Amino acid sequence: MELSSKHHDDRLRVHAAGEMTIYHAADLKPALLEILDRSDAIELDLSGVSELDTSGVQLLMLMKREAVAAGKSLALSGHSPAVLEVFELLGLGGWFGDPQVLPASAKGRAAA
Amino acid sequence: MNLDLGEALQTFFAESRSLLQDMEEGLLRLENTPDDAEAINAVFRAAHTIKGSAGLFGLDDIVAFTHKAENVLDRVRNNELPLTEGLIGLFLACRDHIERLLDITVDGTEMDTDSRRQGETLAAQLSQCMGNDATTLPAETEAPVQSVGGGQMAGDTWHISLRFGQDVLKNGMDPLSFLRYLATLGEICHLTTLADALPVAAEMDSECCYLGFELCLKSEVDKARIEGVFEFVRDDCQLHILPPGSRVADFMQLIETLPENNTRLGEILVACGALTQRELDESLSIQECESARQEAPQPLGEILVDRQMVQPELVDAALSKQKEARNRQAQEAQFIRVHADKLDSLINLVGELVIAGAGVGLQAARNKDGVLMESVSGMARLVEEIRDGAMRLRMVEIGETFNRFRRVVRDVSKELGKDIELVISGAEAELDKTVVEKIGDPLTHLVRNAMDHGIESAQVRLSRGKPAQGTMRLNAFHESGGIVIEVSDDGGGLNRERILAKARDKGLIQEGDNLADGDVWKLIFEPGFSTAEQVSNLSGRGVGMDVVRRNIEALRGTVEIESHEGLGSTFRIRLPLTLAIIDGFLMGVTESHYVVPLDMVLECVELNTCGDGSGDCDYLNLRGEVLPLLRVKQHFNLEGRSSRRQNVVVVTAAGRKAGLVVDELKGEFQAVIKPLGQIFAQVRGISGSTILGSGEVALVLDVPTLLDEAARVGSSGVTV
């Protein structure tokens, strides 16, 4: 799992790549929370996420909740197919409230 | 998904194999009694469980294929499809394909094109059996769930509440896989993920699971099957399943039992379509009133019964499920699954204990310490009991190996167009696990051979006045410290003339040699020997029988043949019960020690009857019987002086006798056999080594080979 960040105007763009799974969860948690500390507006680009499991979903949810609690904005973007599949299964699209770009073949109900 | 589940996966493989075995047995039983509902159910359950477990591990290939087979099985189970012989054949082929898929997964290799093509063919055949409704995927249309009044839900969806325990992830399971698998049972119409249990950032352990799910499943399956999905996490999760058509009150009950805030849960249920907003509001207010009035809450069960909330069939299902679980627990109490390595290391330790015990005994005897010797003999008895107990742990019944042949016999008889029945007896005879594993191949050879060459075609059988159906028999029994396995057929028997002719062709015997029946039969074990007129797919190429003999001899066993023209033949395999520890007889030759298995020792005599001083005789007159002698010293080219007085140990194996000439007789000895290294593989007459109490090494003699040797040496001098 790699996180690389870049500042765009006043937003922090973070690109996540690799597996967001239980194997990396212990390292990922502090890394994600640390990003929250660095900026008030963060965009987390998930296009490079190859695998996402329950522990990864939890961390994303934790990060989102912390961000809302601290009055910061956290936007997820560029959902990779692995992320989309999990979000669709768990009905999380609405929970995060970010626009998701669905591939043409995906079923329509995920965006709800 | 690529979770490395290690041990759980191994358990899955082991269980799947035994399920495949059940499946095969069930199918073979169905072949005889096609309307055996229990067998159909057993086959279905096996397929279903394999699919379910495979789903948990994300083995999509296995899930997809097994799913197709299961669908067809389901139709058979519901009497929608007659169970023909062809269909049983198809299911057997499917079973084999699943096994292949498992093997591929175990090896971690890719599927080769052959198996892929076969899988596709089978899948196509299966869909044909499904008829027009080949696509079993749930319909894509999303019918909204509506409620009609009166509190009865009209929806056909199951409502499932899931709260996973915190340790689920640590136990190597991912809740997502359960949901994915659940989705294969039907359609998940609505799913809400609950993160309410997620603690504050500082306290949150990223390797714990805090999520819960509320979901609606549209599916035709029953409650037990839905529960089955979560079987692996049953202890690790809170699971509530409400069947389609549950009353509003049931949902209220559910809301009460779940940890989250009632109003919030109510909203989720409304979102799921399980309740309407009006119903929720009404119920919540009723509940509040009630709880205000009623001080002590009624127990859940009472409420359920009072309000007749639970459908009677659900109660039945729950009861039978509980009973099943109890039965399973009872079975688990009877058997423990132990890794074979652990048993092996236990046996090794017991072996070392035996050696150490012998060492103590030796010291005691040397010091002539009477008290110590008495304690040692007491300990030796205990050690012996431990040894026997440990060996028994490794003993398995041969029945399982025998049962495998039901399939072999079925397939081969189909292939040959012969009607052959397999009769198994003595399946409860036990022998060492390692021996059982290695005896499978030789037995397969013998069974195939007997079916191909032994049993005649139906016409020939009828013309000989035998029943058209041929019979193969597998039998096992214990005999003097060993096990005897018999493979017999009621076919034509071995043809003495044809074997002799072939042997002369090959130059194995001379023209005019007069051989006893037993010696003639033995010729078929010679390399490259086949009397079959036609080389068939199965046998007749002359490879096999010599391999059979070699395999059996490698297990320190022997094979003998009994054959009667026109009545059939019996191959009798004698094997030692175990390969690890034997009761041996210790002998000394010059400075070296040798051990022979005690079972093979008949008697010991002093060597003085034959030519005083010269000692070159190759035979002995033993009470009027000619006994070939084998001089161990010469045979192994030992240096050093022999003692003046020599002894003969008369050994026997498979009805033959010979005398081993040794210097010293040292008596009984418990030998823990250690295999010899590869470099000694060429040494004839030695089957292993053992360590004496004094730390010296003794070699274990391979008596059958030595008997051959003695007979050869002996026959050059006299005709036996």
A62 touches chain B (CB under 8 A): yes
Residue B496, φ and ψ in degrees, nearest 5: -60, -45
Cβ within 8 Å, pair A54-B176:
yes
Cβ neighbours of B131 (radius 10 Å): 11
Interchain proximity A58–B213, CB inside 8 Å: no
* Whole-angstrom distance, CA of residue B421 vs CA of residue B472: 6
> How much is the ipTM here?
0.85
User: Which among A48, A55, A64, A69 is positioned nearest to A27, based on CA atoms?
Assistant: A55
The neighbouring-strand residues paired with B484 are B477, B574
Please, which residues have CB within 8 angstroms of residue B478's CB and are 6 or more apart in sequence?
B429, B484, B577
pLDDT of B638: 81
The reply to whether residue B192 touches residue A65, judged by beta carbons under 8 angstroms, is: no
Cα separation of B321 and B699, whole Å? 58
What one-letter code names the amino acid at B89? G
Whether the Cβ atoms of residue B525 and residue B546 lie closer than 8 Å to each other: yes
Chain A interface disruption, residue of B174, B206, B233, most A CBs within 10 A: B206
The amino acid that residue A77 corresponds to is S
Segments of chain B scoring below 70 in pLDDT: 1-6, 131-156, 245, 247-249, 261-265, 269-334, 480-481, 528, 530-544, 577-581, 609-617, 654, 675, 681, 693, 713-720
B365 sits in which H/E element: helix B340-367
Work out the number of other CB atoms within 10 angstroms of the CB of residue B536: 14
Q: Do A58 and B142 make contact, defined as CB atoms within 8 angstroms?
A: no
- For B530, half-sphere exposure in the C-beta direction (CA atoms, 13 angstrom radius) is 19
Residue B271: partners with Cβ closer than 8 Å, 6 or more residues away? B190, B192
A22–B contact, CB cutoff 8 A = yes
Q: What's the angle, vertex CA B229, arms to CA B224 and CA B234, rounded to 5? A: 90
Give residue for tokens 């294969």: B184
pLDDT in tens, A19-30: 888 888 888 888
As a whole number of angstroms, the distance between CA B544 and CA B442 comes to 8
Q: Are strands B646-653 and B420-425 parallel, antiparallel or unpaired?
A: unpaired
CA distance A7 to chain B (A): 25
Q: Does A59 touch chain B (CB under 8 A)?
A: yes
B668, B361 contact by CB (below 8 A): no
Quick one: which of B451, B644, B717, B676 has its CA closest to B579?
Answer: B676
CB nearest B201 (choices: A26, A66, A91): A66
Show the tokens assigned to B251.
């949902």
CA-angle at B307, arms to B303 and B308, nearest 5°: 110
Q: Do B190 and A91 touch (CB under 8 A)?
A: yes
Q: Which residues contact B487 (CB under 8 A, 6 or more apart)?
A: B443, B446, B447, B450, B472, B473, B474, B570, B571, B573
Q: Can you read off the two tokens belonging to residue A4?
A: 């690389």
Of B580, B551, B568, B170, the residue nearest B392 (C-alpha): B580
| Cβ–Cβ below 8 Å for A58 and B207 | no
pLDDT of residue B302: 47
The structure's pTM equals: 0.46
> pLDDT by residue (tens digit) across B632-670?
888 888 887 777 788 889 988 767 788 888 888 888 877
pLDDT per residue as tens digits for the range B1-33: 444 456 777 788 888 888 888 888 888 888 877
CB distance from A72 to chain B under 8 Å? no
What is the average pLDDT value for chain A, to the nearest integer? 82
User: Cβ of A89 and B213 within 8 Å?
Assistant: no
Distance in Å, alpha carbon of B254 to nearest chain A alpha carbon: 21
Q: How many residues does chain A have?
A: 112
Contact B324, B316 (CB under 8 A): no
DSSP code for B126: H
Quick one: tokens of B297?
Answer: 């809450």
Structure token digits, residue B470: 């041929």
Pairing of strands B601-607, B646-653: antiparallel
Chain B contact for A53, CB < 8 A? yes
Q: Please tell me the total number of residues recorded for chain B in this structure.
A: 720
User: Nearest by CB to B198, which of A53, A61, A92?
Assistant: A61
Determine, for residues A61 and B195 on separate chains, whether the beta-carbon distance falls below 8 Å. yes
Amino acid letter at B144? P
Q: What is the mean pLDDT of residues A36-62?
A: 88
**Concatenated DSSP letters for A27-59?**
HHHHHHHHHHHH-SEEEEEEEEEEEE-HHHHHH
Considering only CB atoms, B206 lies closest to which of A28, A91, A109, namely A28
Query: What pLDDT is attached to residue B559?
Result: 87
CB contact under 8 A, B176 and A109: no
Task: Find out whether A63 and A57 touch, Cβ atoms under 8 Å.
Answer: no
Residue B485 pLDDT: 92
Check residue B109 and give its pLDDT: 76
Q: How many CB atoms lie within 10 A of CB B44?
A: 19
CB contact under 8 Å between A29 and B204, yes or no, is yes
Identify the pLDDT of residue B366. Answer: 85
DSSP B589: E
Instruction: Please give, rounded to a whole number of angstroms, the shortest distance from the CA of A49 to a CA of chain B.
Output: 13
Of A51, A62, A95, which has the smallest distance from its Cβ to B193's Cβ? A95
Q: How far is CA B287 from CA B127, B251, B252, B470, in A?
A: 51, 12, 8, 74
Decide: helix, strand or coil at residue B15: helix
Nearest 5°: the CA angle B92, B41, B217 is 105
Sheet strand arrangement including B592-597? B664-672, B581-589, B592-597, B697-701, B686-691
Structure tokens that stand for B479 in this block? 């005999």
State the pLDDT at residue B210: 86
CB B91 within 8 A of CB B27: yes
The arrangement of strands across the sheet holding B212-218 comes to B187-194, B212-218, B157-164, B237-242
Inspect the interface and report whether the beta carbons of A92 and B193 lie closer than 8 Å.
Answer: yes
Contact A22 B188 (CB under 8 A): no
> Which of B645, B652, B649, B644 lies closest to B661, judged by CA?
B649
Query: What is the enclosing helix (H) or strand (E) of B431?
Result: strand B430-432
DSSP letters, B374-400, are HHHHHHHHHHHHHHHHHHHHTEEETHH
- Looking at residue B187, the DSSP 8-state letter turns out to be E
Nearest of B556, B528, B523, B522 to residue B540 by alpha carbon: B528
Q: Residue-wise over B72-100: b if at least 16 C-beta within 10 A, else e?
A: bbbbbbeeebebeeebbebbbebbbbbbb
3-class SS shares of chain B: helix, strand, coil, % to 5: 50, 20, 30
From the list B690, B663, B692, B688, the residue with the least C-alpha distance to B588 is B663
Calpha distance B185→B63 (Å, rounded): 12
Alpha helices in A1-112 (DSSP H): 25-38, 54-69, 81-90, 93-96
> A63 to chain B, minimum CA–CA distance in Å?
8
What is the C-alpha radius of gyration for chain B, rounded to an integer number of angstroms? 35
Q: SS3 of B132, please?
A: coil
**Res. A31: pLDDT tops 70:** yes
Q: Does residue B66 contact residue B54 with C-beta atoms inside 8 Å?
A: yes
* The pair of three-digit structure tokens given for residue B88, joined into one six-digit string: 């049983």
What pLDDT score does B541 carry? 43
> By C-alpha distance, which of B164, B267, B157 is closest to B215?
B157
Residues of B in contact with A110 (CB under 8 A): none
Q: Would you state the pLDDT for residue B317?
A: 59
Pairing of β B568-576 and β B558-564: antiparallel
In this structure, the number of other CB atoms found within 10 A of the CB of residue B384 comes to: 15
With an 8 Å Cβ cutoff, are A109 and B142 in contact? yes
Q: Per the structure block, which two tokens stand in for B370?
A: 């009477």
Interface test with A, best of B166, B168, B173, B176 (most A CBs within 10 A): B176
